[in-house]
Structure 1
Amino acid sequence: MSAQDDYKQRSYGEIPVGTGSKPGIVVVDFQKGFTESQYPLGGAPLVMRALENTAKLLDVARACDVPVATCNTAYMNEREMPYWKITAVRETFRHDHPSAALDPRIFDPDYDLFVTKKGPSIFFNTGVADYFAKERVDTVIVTGCNTSGCIRASSIDSFSHRYRTLVPEDCVGDIEEQPHRDNLRDLGRRYVDVVDLQAALAFIESWHASKATAAA
């Protein structure tokens, strides 16, 4: 019996998370340091695919009045940082470094809540959960990079905050495909529903239509 079959036999992943009464979207670390190839961590193909698909998702979400929270990771200096083991993070993830700026393809400063996070999760000490509480969000769609790091951490924190959590596979990305697949598989066994862009769009559009019907 494979490990995957053993997990299944022990009931992992049997119960879907499903969707609730109102979506919200988090957009994790689509800053230029990850989306522009001139920087050491930038331009990974899976990240660029995720950026393109997230931009499509956000166009629809904003038109439907879905709350969006987006973040970068940046520090004053190395003294402020946690003990990152990544040289490129220590050298470039600074407030005054151009790689810290959000990619304009996914960021609308007039619509999105913007926070700067200091750890892996967009929810850790940022106020995003407070924002979603005010907006009465109960279902969080997680997008961004990297799947094995900040997406995993943000998804687990979303779960811990008792949100129904959806992770569209094609709206998140990583440096390599194997960690991307492995982490989504493990998240999907325990905490989230792994979906795709089309499923996320269908949920948002269905929610918007039901809201319009209720208001009529």
Structure 2
Amino acid sequence: MPDTDDYKQRSYGEIPVGLGAKPGIVVVDFQKGFTEAQYPLGGAPLVMRALENTAKLLKAARAMGVPVATCNTAYMNEREMPYWKITAVRETFRHDHPSAELDPRIYDPAYDLKVCKKGPSIFFNTDVADYFAKERVDTVIVTGCNTSGCIRASSIDSFSHRYRTLVPEDCVGDIEEQPHRDNLRDLGRRYVDVVDLDYVLAYLDRWHSAQAAA
């Protein structure tokens, strides 16, 4: 596309984010409302692919001692909510609704820091940044859904917190493929390195080996 060439000519995306000294993982909104087809927003193929790949990533990461923070989105009632334009969010993303529960395929209550977010970003008004500061995390791996909404917001907040930020394409998902691709392309031009599961697993393995040898 012409705009892709123009962005490149203007130096967008020229400098990679790279890898830091310690990774941490955020898992955004893999709650049943997105991962179970019985709910209005649930079961999108790209989201389910991301869920499966993120489960593989988390199994390896927990075994290596990598900090993990996971979140759902839920509210007491509509009065507490921001002005969502999505009917299904307004009607089902409640603390007492089963769609707000985290999917057990990605959540380990004995290991993960769990937060309930009220806006698009996992970092907004939560304890995730404080947790990562205590753990000395400087590289954040963003997983979850949806790419064009909460993944984008979480990635930009990660960047704003001065983390090196990686987004594995196959560990995030959206309702449709086009916004998934468009938002990853745009994030990759400005704020993050868009990678894949194999890249992240190799990074974690190198990091863990270095820690063991230290």
TM-score (norm: length of structure 2): 1.00
In the alignment, structure 2 segments of 5+ residues that lack a partner are none
Where in structure 2 are the equivalents of 1:49-198 lying within 5 Å?
Answer: 49-198=49-198
Where in structure 2 are the equivalents of 1:8-23 lying within 5 Å?
Answer: 8-23=8-23
Deviation at 1:196, TM superposition (A): 0.1
Whole-Å Cα distance in 1 between the matches of residues 73 and 206 of structure 2? 33
Whole-Å Cα distance in 1 between the matches of residues 176 and 191 of structure 2? 22
Deviations, residues 163-211 of structure 1 (Å, cap 9, x unaligned): 0000000000000000000000000000000000000001111000000
AA aligned opposite 2:162: R
Query: Does the residue aligned with 1:102 lie in a helix, a strand or coil?
Result: coil
Q: Within the alignment, does 1:205 sit opposite 2:205 as a pair? A: yes
Whole-Å Cα distance in 2 between the matches of residues 135 and 119 of structure 1? 24
AA aligned opposite 1:6: D
Whole-Å Cα distance in 2 between the matches of residues 130 and 4 of structure 1? 37
TM superposition outliers: structure 1 runs of 4+ over 6 Å: none
Whole-Å Cα distance in 2 between the matches of residues 154 and 130 of structure 1? 15
Q: How many residues align?
A: 214
Identity value in percent: 87
**Superposition CA RMSD, Å:** 0.5
TM-score (norm: length of structure 1): 0.99
AA aligned opposite 1:144: G
AA aligned opposite 2:169: E
